[in-house]
Amino acid sequence: MSSNEMFDDYTPKKKAKSRAYSLCWNSKANIGFPGVFLFCCLFFLAGFFASNLLSQRGRRLESLDYDLMARGETGDDSVSVIPFQVISWRPRAFYFPNFATPAQCQHIIDMAKPKLEPSTVLLAKGETQQPNDVRTRVATFLLYLSDVEGGGETAFPFEDGLNMDENYDVKKCIGLKAKPRLGDGLLFYSLFPNNSIDPTSTHGSCPVIKGAKWVATKWIRDQQDF
Ligand SMILES: *[C@@H]1O[C@H](CO)[C@@H](O)[C@H](O)[C@H]1NC(C)=O
């Protein structure tokens, strides 16, 4: 907030207060000081909340600026937003905080558990790039199903073209790192929009130092997914 906005914000309140005082003294002179004081406080609070409401209304009107489609029987009358953060443009990587609820994550773990060996390495393997496979993979979506007490970050060692001369060793865990947090999602592209491979999308899972890492991996391919 700039100092100008602060000024705009506070001026009407001050005006409301002084107006309240003059009104008190002119017409309610016989109600005594406590009454006057209370009345003035109420007036001040009313002005304060009214100006707050008005500014919120302004924000809501902004969302009404969308020219919405007619909805179907089961649709919504409002726009929905999935908040995300661009954590990198090279590679194109997008972080989705609170993508899934803890209950949804637990449900996925419960479904997967009977089919898996109890090994965090197996789960982490899905994050490791297999060169023969990458050509058909456009993007990867990771959903972190658990918090990890130490380590376990998804690392992009070549982010922004850095470290590309060195030998890639994921154990060194360098470059851009996304910390696994329960319910958060990470989407990144392996291909440029022109379909050529983005070398900065090379990634791996840093070693888990403490705790267990659970992650659901969805590969998005340009061919049929088997
Ligand atoms: C595809 O796009 C990337 C990134 O913009 C660029 O570096 C590369 O040269 C392009 N490749 C082709 C074949 O056009």
pLDDT tens digits along 102-153: 999 999 999 998 887 654 443 344 454 444 454 578 999 999 999 999 999 9
pLDDT tens digits along 143-165: 999 999 999 999 999 999 999 88
- For residue 100, pLDDT over 50 is answered with yes
Mean pLDDT of all residues in the chain?
A: 76
Measure the CA–CA gap between 222 and 112, rounded to whole angstroms: 25
Least confident of 21-30, 32-41, 207-216: 21-30
Residue 53: pLDDT band with limits 50, 70, 90? low
For residue 192 and ligand 1, the question of a CB distance below 6 A is answered with: yes
pLDDT at 214 (0 to 100): 95
- Enumerate the domain spans of the chain: 85-112+136-221
pLDDT at 135 (0 to 100): 56
Query: Residue 103 is encoded by which pair of tokens?
Result: 């209950």
Torsion over CA: 95, 100, 101, 106 (sign): negative
Residue 8: pLDDT band with limits 50, 70, 90? very low
Closest Cα to atom 11 of ligand 1: 196
Residue with more model confidence, 44 or 93: 93
For residue 224 and ligand 1, the question of a CB distance below 6 A is answered with: no
Q: Is 195 left (phi over 0), alpha (psi -120 to 50) or beta?
A: left
The percent of residues in the chain predicted with pLDDT above 70, rounded, is 61
Closest Cα to atom 14 of ligand 1: 194
For residue 94 and ligand 1, the question of a CB distance below 6 A is answered with: no
Kindly write down the DSSP assignment for every residue of 67-108, as one continuous string. Answer: -PPPP-TT--SS------EEEETTTTEEEETT-S-HHHHHHH
pLDDT at 65 (0 to 100): 78
What number of other Cβ atoms are within 10 A of residue 111's Cβ? 10
Q: Tokens 């953060």 — which residue? A: 85
- For residue 83, pLDDT over 50 is answered with yes
Query: Residue 72 is encoded by which pair of tokens?
Result: 């179907």
The percent of residues in the chain predicted with pLDDT above 90, rounded, is 52
Distance 46 CA to ligand 1 centre (A): 60
pTM over 0.75: no
Residue with more model confidence, 19 or 37: 37
